[in-house]
Amino acid sequence: MNGLKKIGTNFYIEEIKGKKPIKYIANEKILEQIEEGVYRQARNVILTPGVDDVVITPDAHHGYFCPIGCVAASKTIISPGAVGVDIGCGMRLILTNLNVHDLRTNGEINRAQVRALMDGILHDIPLGEKVRSFDTKTQSELFDIFRGRRSSDDPEIREHRPFRISKDIPVMEHLSGDVIKRAMKSVGSLGGGNHFIEIQVVEEIHTDIAEKWGLRKDQIVAMVHSGSRNLGYQIADYWVTTTRKKFDRLGITYLDRDGMYMGVDTPEGQHYIAEMRSALNFAVENRAVMAKYVMQNIEKVFPGVKMSLLYDVCHNNAMLEEHFGERFWVHRKGATRALPPRHPLLKGSRWFNTGHPVILPGSMGTASYIMVGVDSEGNRLSYSSINHGAGRVMSRKRATKIITQEQFERALGNVLMNARNYRSVVDECSLAYKDIDEIIDSVVVAGLAQVVAKLKPIGVIKDDTSHRAPGWRRRKKKR
């Protein structure tokens, strides 16, 4: 177990000289699947000057600088690499008053009806690198989104209200005109990789909190997973590259080329925070616009349907929060905030007495979960954070090479998908991911969160082109 010490059920630590121990949340099966790269990267994160604490969630896998599935807390620094390149990537859930029986004919799911709904969504929402050819934003509207002056949402259904960015802080000025023009056309587009839109059925209810949130067994819901598109990558790449050049010029050493950081009170730190928050505003608005089109298409197929939004939660961000009586910048990269009932950060919101919804997707064709944080020592030790999904066990390249069409179709089961050729999405097959049920077991038994509802997919929309959305390009490591 790579020198880990067990301190509780599904809770392990790795001692690091001169630093707080790294915490790992995993059951025994998941622990066996943690790759060496995760341990190595976790050590690099905790050894980064200014990082006070690191927590690794059960879906962790190797990423750039820090694992995907990592919480890094600091009182003094902000790190673009610990936020990630898809700033603001997250989940949104749409509730309907439809029952699964409304989609059935002779006891079976009416696949033509589901397909019609999916086709309508595909008509309105671009996938992959495609952007909108209609209903695009003007540059003025785009910058209003960046600065938190424009939002389509009720603030109560989102993890954070729009961040208001002062005019005194320049944002996005380093981006090319082409990037800005693309961003203007990207509000309301899905992107590629693991992003998706799913039509789902509530399969199980686990607590009476579900009723308070408007969830019920056999209910039809829709889930949207996307982020800040190319914009987040451009911001992360700029600040990592710029800061590395500064470190090299000043002779400052570093453990990882992507592990750059800035003091939160420095001009650079304040500038990055403003741009990160602008990208968060953009990402949430992106999901809000997509949700609007999803809801319009549900209305077309099921006239008179009633719908509402449950919640929107991010899993790539850095938030200033109070923990253990001190204020930390809590970086969550591939990790989701899970505040329990009566948490001070929820005071004054509709979620104060229950805790807020945590939306956790599975992999393509598998279950997703709605959860809520638990008031426990484990939740506090994790900075009220849990996983963001299932987490990969197989690289995209390897999945493309070894997963056969028969294996892919068996794993997908009866779930409808938009892709006409399995090869265009085989790298997203559930066989390339950890078992979501084992992931959920890891956090539930560790006492960090509880299941509110389990959802199963009936239709999934993903980028069906062979070319994936751009990620952080691979760079040769410098020691």
Q: Please, which pLDDT band fits residue 479 given cuts at 50, 70 and 90?
A: very low
Q: Report pLDDT digits (tens) over 324-371.
A: 999 999 999 999 999 999 999 999 999 999 999 999 999 999 999 999
Question: Which one from 174, 356, 388, 467 is the annotated catalytic residue?
Answer: 388
The percent of residues above 90 in pLDDT, for the chain, comes to 89
Quote the domain boundaries for residue 28: 5-461
pLDDT score of 467 more than 70: no
Q: Is 476 among the domain residues?
A: no
Q: Would you state the pLDDT for residue 97?
A: 98
pLDDT score of 218 more than 70: yes
Q: Is 322 among the domain residues?
A: yes
Q: Report pLDDT digits (tens) over 85-108.
A: 999 999 999 999 999 999 988 888
Q: Please, which pLDDT band fits residue 474 given cuts at 50, 70 and 90?
A: very low
Q: Is 428 among the domain residues?
A: yes
The whole-model pTM stands at 0.94
Q: Would you state the pLDDT for residue 167?
A: 86
Q: Is 474 among the domain residues?
A: no
pLDDT score of 476 more than 70: no
Mean pLDDT score, 169-197: 94
Q: Would you state the pLDDT for residue 471?
A: 38
Q: Is 90 among the domain residues?
A: yes
Q: Would you state the pLDDT for residue 135?
A: 86
Mean pLDDT score, 163-170: 91
CA angle 416, 89, 401 (to 5 degrees): 55
Q: Please, which pLDDT band fits residue 478 given cuts at 50, 70 and 90?
A: very low
Q: What tokens were used for 111?
A: 């696949």
Q: Is 467 among the domain residues?
A: no
Q: Report pLDDT digits (tens) over 219-264.
A: 999 999 999 999 999 999 999 999 999 999 999 999 999 999 999 9
pLDDT score of 41 more than 90: yes
Q: Would you state the pLDDT for residue 134?
A: 85
pLDDT score of 3 more than 90: no
Q: Would you state the pLDDT for residue 1?
A: 56
Averaged pLDDT score across all residues of the chain:
93
Q: Would you state the pLDDT for residue 2?
A: 67
Q: Report pLDDT digits (tens) over 392-409.
A: 999 899 999 999 999 999
Q: Would you state the pLDDT for residue 350?
A: 95
Q: Report pLDDT digits (tens) over 268-324.
A: 999 999 999 999 999 999 999 999 999 999 999 999 999 999 999 999 999 999 999
pLDDT score of 475 more than 60: no
Q: Is 363 among the domain residues?
A: yes
Q: Report pLDDT digits (tens) over 91-150.
A: 999 999 999 999 988 888 899 999 999 999 999 999 999 999 888 999 999 999 999 999
- As for how many domains the chain has, the answer is 1
* Known catalytic membership, residue 388: yes
Mean pLDDT score, 387-396: 93
Q: Would you state the pLDDT for residue 104?
A: 84
The percent of residues above 70 in pLDDT, for the chain, comes to 96
CATH number at residue 86: 3.90.1860.10
Q: Is 258 among the domain residues?
A: yes
